Amino acid sequence: MTMPLDPDFSPGTVVTGKWKQGKYVILRTLGKGANGIVYLVQREPGGGRYALKMGFNGVDLQSEVNVLTSLEGQYSQAGHKSASYLKEVDDYRINGIDIPFYVMKYVRGEPIHHFIQKHGSDWITITGLRLLKKLAELHRLGYIFCDLKPQNVLVTRYGEVELIDYGGVSPVGRSVKQFTEWYDRGYWNAGSRVADPEYDVFSFALLLIHLLEGDELQQLAGEGLPQLRGMGPLSALIQRSERLSPYKGWLAPAVQGKFENAEIAFLHWKKHVYGPVKRQRESRSEPAPRWLIPSFALSALIMAGAIMFLLR
Q: d(Cα 139, Cα 266) in Å, to the nearest integer?
A: 12
Closest CA to 115 of 163, 150, 165, 166: 150
Residue 289, exposed/middle/buried by CB under 10 A (0-12, 13-18, 19+)? exposed
Closest CA to 210 of 121, 146, 139: 121
Q: d(Cα 226, Cα 179) in Å, to the nearest integer?
A: 16
Residue 53 among known ligand-binding residues: yes
Q: Which residues of 46-76 are buried (b: 16+ CB within 10 A; e: fewer)?
A: eeeebbbbbbbeeebbebbbebbebbeebbe
Strand ranges (E), the chain: 14-16, 23-32, 36-44, 49-55, 86-94, 97-105, 110-111, 143-144, 153-155, 161-163, 170-171
Active site residue: 8, 90, 91, 147, which one?
Answer: 147
Residue 76 Ramachandran class (φ > 0 left, ψ -120 to 50 alpha, else beta): alpha
Asked about 98 being catalytic, the answer comes back as: no
Active site residues: 147
Binding site for ATP, by residue number, is: 53
Binding site, by residue number, is: 53
